[in-house]
Chain A
């Protein structure tokens, strides 16, 4: 009788743990999605600003060409190629930024300011997203999560490799 009670309690506790873990994983998946949506929006805005920069007086024809190509690539890349394309845009922007140091007319100054604000936000956004992805993957690797299929049908998040120092 007593062992039955203990076993029952243990089973209850275990079931609670399972539901707790499922909630935890669900929360993580949710975080991956929202942080990606946020980051995606920021990156799109950056590509738009980059295009505007490319069309402006600021850039010489050569860097304008590079910038435009990188921006289009970043916009059209699929999920898997995205981080690579975005890193490309980062380095293109960096190239231009290095040239412009100190000599920007007032009209384009606003653009450059917006760009640096966006860059700061993107850095934080990347950190948040990468953290969410890494967490989710590491949690999903745990045996309990695998054994009881707590992830359900949710796809495994994609690891992006943004090069932060390039941003």
Chain B
């Protein structure tokens, strides 16, 4: 099994008044295909920074990131955007559905973005994904008509609908109660196997760690779990 994401010696510093703040210090990590990886750490440990760099929204000040074997620093903005819309799915901490679209349309939208042709197949896939997250009966509901947990599950369905190589989830459980959070973590674990998608999720909720295949732990910008991958 190859690594879908390879992070090599990645550093990130931010200029701050009177010097620099080193958010990431020489991080190495690799995420294999079809695995569920949790990026763990306290607030300010650098996990979101790392996630932003992996999803090409941010650039490292040192080191390289390879996605699916490709050095992303060599990609143009346009190529990066193509990479994000075709090979990645995203779940964000806060409600990230498009409010003017209903559940079905929100899920369908990521497939439109990925350039998947319209037709029965596409509609079936949308329904399949929504059923997978347990919302098969709420497809025509608007985001405003759903609870936070339901919205987050729609977001997950959206993230996987276009069959990306990986899903990057930034604190997706932060606004959910613990039962719902556990449900989401289990869902991720299941999907990584069922759909063959690598999932990288940041969290500081220790209760969820058990569901993951691997753990990467950051503290003050350094990897402290000692893991090799």
Are A and B associated in one complex? no
- Using a CB–CB cutoff of 8 Å, the interface residues on chain B facing chain A are none
